[in-house]
Structure formats: structure tokens, C-alpha cells
Amino acid sequence: MSTIDQLIRDIVAANRILANENIVDAFGHVSVRHPQDPGKFLLSRARSPELIEPEDIMVLALDGTPEPGDTRKPYLERFIHGAIYEARPEVMSVVHSHSRSVIPFGLVGEPIRPVIHSSGTLGYEVPLWDTQTRFGDTNLLVASMAMGRDMALTMAGGNGVLMRGHGSTVCGRSIQEAVYTAYYLEVNANLQLQAAQLARTPVKFLTKGEVDGIISRIGDGLPGEGFSRAWDYWCRRAGITG
Amino acid sequence: MSTIDQLIRDIVAANRILANENIVDAFGHVSVRHPQDPGKFLLSRARSPELIEPEDIMVLALDGTPEPGDTRKPYLERFIHGAIYEARPEVMSVVHSHSRSVIPFGLVGEPIRPVIHSSGTLGYEVPLWDTQTRFGDTNLLVASMAMGRDMALTMAGGNGVLMRGHGSTVCGRSIQEAVYTAYYLEVNANLQLQAAQLARTPVKFLTKGEVDGIISRIGDGLPGEGFSRAWDYWCRRAGITG
Amino acid sequence: MSTIDQLIRDIVAANRILANENIVDAFGHVSVRHPQDPGKFLLSRARSPELIEPEDIMVLALDGTPEPGDTRKPYLERFIHGAIYEARPEVMSVVHSHSRSVIPFGLVGEPIRPVIHSSGTLGYEVPLWDTQTRFGDTNLLVASMAMGRDMALTMAGGNGVLMRGHGSTVCGRSIQEAVYTAYYLEVNANLQLQAAQLARTPVKFLTKGEVDGIISRIGDGLPGEGFSRAWDYWCRRAGITG
Amino acid sequence: MSTIDQLIRDIVAANRILANENIVDAFGHVSVRHPQDPGKFLLSRARSPELIEPEDIMVLALDGTPEPGDTRKPYLERFIHGAIYEARPEVMSVVHSHSRSVIPFGLVGEPIRPVIHSSGTLGYEVPLWDTQTRFGDTNLLVASMAMGRDMALTMAGGNGVLMRGHGSTVCGRSIQEAVYTAYYLEVNANLQLQAAQLARTPVKFLTKGEVDGIISRIGDGLPGEGFSRAWDYWCRRAGITG
């Protein structure tokens, strides 16, 4: 199978996994940078993640323009993806979701920081981007490259960004890593909220050194092992074979 | 297929979607205004939403009277629907539910306001109606037009109303919009509760301008696009085809 | 079908419904008073509710003694049931469960009171029984008639009792009513907990008059209608037919 | 069937049960001490619990070394198991998990103590082990016998230990007991968190005498009865037959 065919299969699997694990629902999307042309990326036409088939995958320029002659309707918010690929050459995959435990943190401006080893891939802290700051009253959707670029600026060199009143976006050096981080951002938010409800003493987050220890070994067995074991497990749960 | 047959199919689908997404359970109902006669509406006979078939749909006058000769048992609380259609000519569909995250807000008098773009269709704030205020000790059910009209007065020009110790009711200009708003009222309540648990700082709700931006575009692509994509996704999850 | 055969079918259905709705798990039980002999009751042999078949139902005297020759192992906690039937001639059915939202109220001594119309069958307040008070250190199980009678004393004329560090027990004038009350005790506890988390103002419980209005109409259409509609819905969800 | 074949079947069943009940996900593992050689234990190769088959079970020395010639990849964290078997001759089974309600307690240093009779097998209190204390910045995984032994020291003579930013580990005198305790540690944490949210008065934990009453009867009918009834129920839910 060609690289691009494999990536398309992985995008379809990623969408189904994230739907099955309740990270995305009718909304949310997964993209991957084009393997032969870093100025393009692969993303489904506008469709609910669980319903996506290989034929739905479109090729888009970083500014969101479809290939000539492709008249299918892309996601309105494709600029989230293009702006991150433009700003971050090492990023190979982006996931945007409205997963439920993450949103409350953006509503009260409480930072999300990793509380377990599995969410060390989030980095030290997930910053908050608010459309109000630069764009005033909008419908909060990322409807232009200007908005996407502003969001990517807030994300800076990190792997995730909270979007106030909307959801969150994460990235990774592979689809597997981006899916893993999207999943554990949700898990981490849920645990952090529970800890905040219990707390008589401050929550103990991972130390900077612990986060460094985890991030530095991505692709080197751990959490690389984790990506792969989790991916296989999630595929099984989502009914994906082969 | 005639307009009315399509609407009956949509009512059945809406009931199954809302049951499948845990917005209604054994109780709750969905109605639509009669497409040829604005003085009537369509509503199932008294039955749990998940079990409803096309044959169960009755035609009722706005005061809740069934068609002559129709001896089936209607919902006791059909006055919720009739009173809203009477007061609001633009409303085409009404959903009443006991969805679980919404009820606590009515118990403590905490207003529900939209915290994410998807719940902008709720408007600025969902008001609280309490049977005690005008009707004293009852079993809290909306058992007469007088109660329905009082509830509709509290709802005023908005799209939703909380019912103390009971549940909530929403409306829309189509079944799809009413179902969408019923679903996102529950999601919004859940997010708002979590944010309240986290909050060291005030929760940041959507601004009035943001809500206006969302409401003004209903039927114009967005959130119209959202209604349609969500509807297709929910149908798939509920096993509804064709 | 004879009355007793129908009751046995209802007990089996009740066990499956309560398992399917997460009110009971490996533990918990449902009994009904014997229709011909008020000094006896029907209860499964010691088995997880979801696995119970008609052949598992035993006949026990109120003091928990099986019929002569019946060597099957009864539930250790059958005294919960016998003691309530002994003290309350009008009670026809008893449900004991460990449903999860109810237990925390017993742990902190916070009373459960109805917050929605559906849980009006609980009465004004569900009292708390603690084995420590009269029996000191035990394994907290109701292992004798003395313990069962002490629990029934705390329950008094009400429909439910919390058991500290253990669970809860409810009763009704029919299996359908007892199952309904067991289900809505759990729902009410969950809603009351959420309201407590939100509350800047006191939670507004049903008034005494509202509770009276609901209780007085049991068996008279409402909530009688509710018992029946809910029962049919729960049977469908649990895969019970016929 | 030989003892070892039966134990292998039980390990596979235990993994599926714990996956089905959401105690383990892609991660977590169950081991049993070798029935003929107390210096060895049985543990799956590195694989997600739900996917484990009898052929995946490896034999490891207490220091984590596989049998000569077995080149399959073991779990990195097998030292959790070996160190407990080394320190505790009476322990026959160990379960390590990341179950979600337990983790927040480790994050804030709030002790978990039994609040219901079913979790009396936890003992008086579940202590907290933190890798930072002795090993400084790591990726928090138990990657050596030195770490495993330090964790076992904190566990001391108890049945469970919390692992900060990671999860928890429990043990038992049989697979059934260890699975039961892993399950009720999660249940207890969830109940204790809810009680903390309600509490205007201190949470009432089981007394020392109540815990003694429960622990002293393990293997003697109760909670032995509980292990067996729960095991049968969980097998049925997980689709395990025979």
C-alpha cells in the first residue's frame, strides 16, 4: 500500500476511534500533512467523524484551498489545521475536538497541566486562546486564516491549545501521537477537575523534569510504546480491522 | 412523500434520537405544528419516546383537544405544546424533556446561559418557571392550558424555559432546530456545572454579541449546517435509515 | 397465567430492569409478598439479579425460613424483606440496592428529599439507618431479624431508608411501584448532589403539599400512569418481551 | 484441567472483566503467583488487557526475567508484581490499573479509606507512594526492581497502594480477591469523592472494627460469597462462558 493510502486509512481510523471514545461527536476533525508535499494536508470533506470513508478525504493547501476541480464542501474550520502546519514544520497531524471535560477550563481561565504520566505529551501547560481578544464578537468558529494564525501563535511550540467557549486543538508528529494527545487531554481535564473538587491541598502536577522525561522519549519506545498499544486497543474497540 | 408524512417521520426520528442521546427517557415529548393548519399540532399518543411509531402520531388543537373520533390517550402535558404554539406564531416545533443536567439549575435558581457556540441557539438566558408561584401546591405537571400559558409567558420570546422540580422545554423553527437546542441545553448545563465547580474566577459566558452572531445566522448555513450534520449523525447512532 | 406465575415473571423482569438501569449490580434483590399468604414472600435464591430465572424464586416465611425441603441458598440479607413485610401490612414489594448516587448521602448524614415530581413517591424525607447505633461493629450486612426489624423501625411509615456504608431499601404497594421508587431514589440523589454543588442559595425541595399531591394519587392514574409507562420502557430496554 | 491451565484461564478472564468494567483500558495488568514455584509469577506479554489470549501468558522470575528462550516482550512495569510477591509470601495475585476515580486522591494527598462494606478488603487506609520522594524526576513508571521494592515498602502489609500521577496497585490471596479489590477501590474512590462534595459534616468511614469484621471473614463465606457472586456476574457481562 502506498504511503498516502496508508495515511488515508489512518485518518479514517482516527476519526472512528475518536468518535468511539467520545472525543469527537457530530463535530471535530483530524488531518495529516501531505507526505509528499509539506505545503498541503489531508482532511475529510465536511462530515461527522464517525461517518467518514476513505473517499471523503480531500487535499487542501495550507490556506485551506481545495485541489482544482474538487467541488466538495470542506470543513469551515480547516484554517485551524493549515495555520498550525504553516507555523510548525515538525507537526504532521492535527486534531480539533469539543471534548467535554476540557471546555470548562477555558470558561474559567484555569490552566490545564499534566497530572499523570500519560498526559505528559501535553507539555507543561495548555494555553488558552480566546477569539474575543483579537476578533471581538464572532460566532467563535475559526473561519479564516487570520484566526487560525492567531490561534497558532497562542499554541506557540506546544502540543495543545484551549479555545474559549468552543473546544481544543492538539498536534503531534504522527496521527497516532495526535490522537493519543487528544484522548489524554480529555482524561487529564477530567482528573484535574476531580482533584480540584477534593483539594484541601494544592494539586500536585507533573514536575517540569517529569514532563521532560516523557517528552524526550517520544518515538523511542515510551510513550511510543503507549501510542502503539493504545492505537491497537482503540481500533479493536471501534471495530477497525486489518 | 407528502409534507405531513415527512413530518411524521421526522417526529418519530426526533423521539428516537432524543431517547438514544439520553435527553428523554420514559418521559418527554416532541411536537410539530401542523403544516396546513397553524391552529393544530402533531404529537404522539401517550407513549415512551423510544417506542413511538408513525401510527402513534395524533393531531391536536392548540387547546389540546384531539380530532373528533380519535379516542387514543394523549399526553397529559400536551398543554406545554399548545400554549407555546398559541403564543409564538413563528415556532414550528417544541421539545419537552427531563434531561438530567438541566434540572439542578432550576432547583437552586441559577440561570443557564450559553457557554459554547453550539448552545448560542438558547439565546441570552433560559428563564425559570415555577408552578408554585401561580398555582401553589400541585404535582408540578402542566395539566391545563392555564398552566401552559403561564409557562409560555415566562418563556416569552426565548427558545427555552426551565421548569422547577420537573425539567425543561425548548422550541425552534423546525424539528431539527428544536432537537438541536434540547440536546445543547443539556450539554451546556453539564459544562456550566463543571465550570462552576472549577471556578476561582467568574465563568465567561458568550457575550450578547456572540449570541446575536449565532442566532442571526440560523437558517443561513450556520448553525444551519450544524443542525443538518448533527441530525445525520444522531440518526446514524439511533439506527435510523432512509 | 396464575397470579403467582405472573408475579414470578414480574420479579424476574424487575431484577433485569434494575440491573440494566444500573440500580443493582452483582448485589441487590427484589421481593414480593405472597399473593395467597401474607406471612410469606417470594425472593430469588442467592444470585446476581441479571442472572435470575423463574426457577430461582423461593418462598420464604417472614422470618426468612425457606419452605420445608427447599435446600437452595437464600440471600443472607433476606431479613430486610421479611422485617418490612412484618411491620407494614400494606407493603407488597421491597427492593434493596447499592445504587451509587444514594450512598454518599448516608456517609455524611445529609437527608435525601424529593427534588422532582417523579420522586415524590419517596415521601417527605428518606431517613438514615446506621448499624453502628444499635449493633456496634459488624460487617454492616442485615444478617438477622433483629437487624431487619431495627431497620424497619427507622423506615417507619415511609417508602425508603438509607443504610450507612451499604445502600438503601425501598418498598411499594406493587413491584412496579417499588422498582419505580428505587430508580427515582437514585435519580433524585444524583440531582440533589448536583444542585448542592451549584448552590449559592438553598436547594428548593418539593413542598409537603406537592408531595401529598403526588402520593395521594398513586394508583389513580398518576403517578400510576408513570409506573406503567416507565415499566414498559424499561422492559424494552432490558430486552424483556411478552 | 491442570491447576496452571485453570489459572491461565482465570488471568485471561480477569483481564477481560477489568477491561469490561472500565478498571483497565489499553494499560493495566493482572498477575498470579506460579502455583508450583513461589519464586515465579504468570503475566501476559505486553498487550492491552482486553486482547489477551491464553497463549500470551509468560512465566517470569520475581526479578522480572522471562523464562530462558522466551523472547516475547514483557510489560515494562512487571517489577510492580515481582516486588510485591517478593515482599509478601501470602499474596497470590496482583492487579495494577489506572482506574479514573482513584487517581485524583493521589494528586492531592487525600487518603482513600473504605466507606462501604464491599470495600472493607482495602483495609484501614490505602497509602500513597510517590516516585518523586526517592527517585526524583522520572517518567513515573515502575521501571526497575528498586522502584518496585520501594512501592512494596509503602504498601507494607496492606492490600492497596496509590501511585501519584499514575494509578494504583492492589493484591489478594486469589485472582478473584485481587480483581474484587481493584473494582471496589474504584467504586470506593468515586463514592468518597461524592461524599466529599456533599459534606457539611465529616465523612463517616468504616470503623476499624467494621474493617476487621470484614477482613477476618475473607475465605469464610463472606466476603468470599461476594467474590464468587461478583466473579460470575462480571464473567457474564464480559461474555466469558465455561
Cβ atoms of A57 and A46 within 8 Å: the answer is: no
What are the backbone dihedrals phi and psi of residue A85, each rounded to the nearest 5 degrees, phi first?
A: -60, -35
Count other C-beta atoms under 10 Å from residue D3's C-beta. Answer: 10
Which residues on chain B place their C-beta less than 8 Å from a C-beta of chain C?
A: 25-27, 46-48, 50-51, 76, 98, 100-101, 103-105, 107-110, 132, 136-141, 164-167, 193, 196-197
Helix, strand and coil in chain A, % to nearest 5: 45, 15, 40
Q: How far apart are CA B164 and CA B183, in angstroms?
A: 19
Distance, CA of C8 to CA of C57 (rounded, Å): 7
Specify whether the CB–CB gap between A189 and A118 falls below 8 A. no
For chain B, give the mean pLDDT: 91
Pair type for strands D128-129 and D160-163: parallel
What is the per-residue pLDDT for D221?
Answer: 43
- For A70-109, letters b (16+ CB in 10 Å) and e give eeeebbbbbbbbbbbbbbbeebbbbbbbbbbbbbbbbbbb
Q: Which of A30, A43, A22 is nearest to A179 (CA)?
A: A30
Mean pLDDT of chain A: 91
Q: SS3 sequence, D185-215?
A: HHHHHHHHHHHHHHCCCCCCCCCHHHHHHHH
Percent share of chain C, pLDDT over 70: 95
| Nine-digit cell string for D157 | 502489609
D103 → closest Cβ in A191, A201, A233: A191
Enumerate the active-site residues of B: 77
The answer to whether B205 and A103 have CB atoms below 8 angstroms apart is: no
pLDDT at A208 over 90: no
Determine contact, residues B186/B101, Cβ cutoff 8 Å: yes
Backbone Cα Rg of chain B: 17
Say how many C-beta atoms besides its own lie within 10 A of residue D219's C-beta.
12
pTM higher than 0.90, yes or no? yes
- Segment B70-93, tens digit of pLDDT: 999 999 999 999 999 999 999 999
Q: What is the pLDDT of residues C162-181, one digit of tens each?
A: 999 999 999 999 999 999 99
Cell numbers 470513508 correspond to: A53
pLDDT, average across residues B3-28: 94
Task: With CB atoms and an 8 Å threshold, state whether C139 touches D118.
Answer: no
Rounded CA-CA distance C157/C160 in Å is 9
pLDDT higher than threshold 80 for residue C18: yes
pLDDT at B220: 47
Q: How far is CA D238 from CA C15, C18, C22, D21, D22, in A?
A: 19, 18, 16, 8, 11
Q: How many whole angstroms separate alpha carbon C190 and alpha carbon B159?
A: 27
Looking at residue C220, its pLDDT comes to: 47
User: Shortest Cα distance from B85 to chain A (angstroms)?
Assistant: 29
Q: At what angle do helices D175-198 and A175-198 cross, to 10 degrees?
A: 60
Q: What is the mean pLDDT of residues A105-121?
A: 90
DSSP3 helix / strand / coil % (chain B, rounded to 5)? 45, 15, 40
From the list D118, D198, D206, the residue facing C105 with the nearest CB is D198
Q: What are phi and psi of A13, to 5 degrees?
A: -60, -45
- What domains can you pick out in chain B, each with its CATH number? 3-237 (3.40.225.10)
Q: In this predicted structure, what is the pLDDT of residue C190?
A: 96
Given a cut of 80, whether residue A93 has pLDDT beyond it is yes
For residue A229, what pLDDT band results from cuts at 50, 70 and 90? confident
User: pLDDT per residue over A19-73, tens digit each?
Assistant: 999 999 999 999 999 999 999 999 999 999 999 999 999 999 999 999 999 999 9
Phi and psi of A173, rounded to 5°?
Answer: -90, 5
Chain D residues within an 8 Å CB radius of A206? 140, 165
Q: Tell me the average pLDDT across D187-198.
A: 92
pLDDT confidence of D225, banded at 50, 70, 90? low
State the smallest CA–CA distance between residue A28 and chain D in angstroms: 23
Q: How many CB atoms lie within 10 A of CB A113?
A: 18
- In this complex, do A25 and B225 lie within 8 Å of one another by their Cβ atoms? no
Query: pLDDT (tens digit, 9 = 90+) per residue, B22-42?
Result: 999 999 999 999 999 999 999
**C-alpha grid cell for residue A235?**
481500533
Name the one residue in this structure whose C-alpha cell is 423510544. B50
Has residue C219 got a pLDDT over 50? yes
**Sorting pLDDT into bands at 50, 70 and 90, what band is C218?**
low
3-state helix, strand and coil shares in percent for chain C, rounded to the nearest 5: 45, 15, 40
Contact D225 C105 (CB under 8 A): no
Any residues with CB less than 8 A from the CB of D2 and at least 6 apart, and which? none
Of A168-182, C91-105, C196-210, minimum mean pLDDT range: C196-210
Separate counts of helices (H) and strands (E) for chain D: 8, 7
| pLDDT tier at A173, thresholds 50, 70, 90 | very high
Q: Choose from A117, A186, A200, A207 for mutation: most chain D CBs within 10 A.
A: A117
- pLDDT at residue D217 greater than cutoff 90: no
C195: Cα separation from own chain's centroid: 24
Closest approach of chain B CAs to the CA of C133, in angstroms? 33
Q: How far apart are CA D38 and CA D62, in angstroms?
A: 9
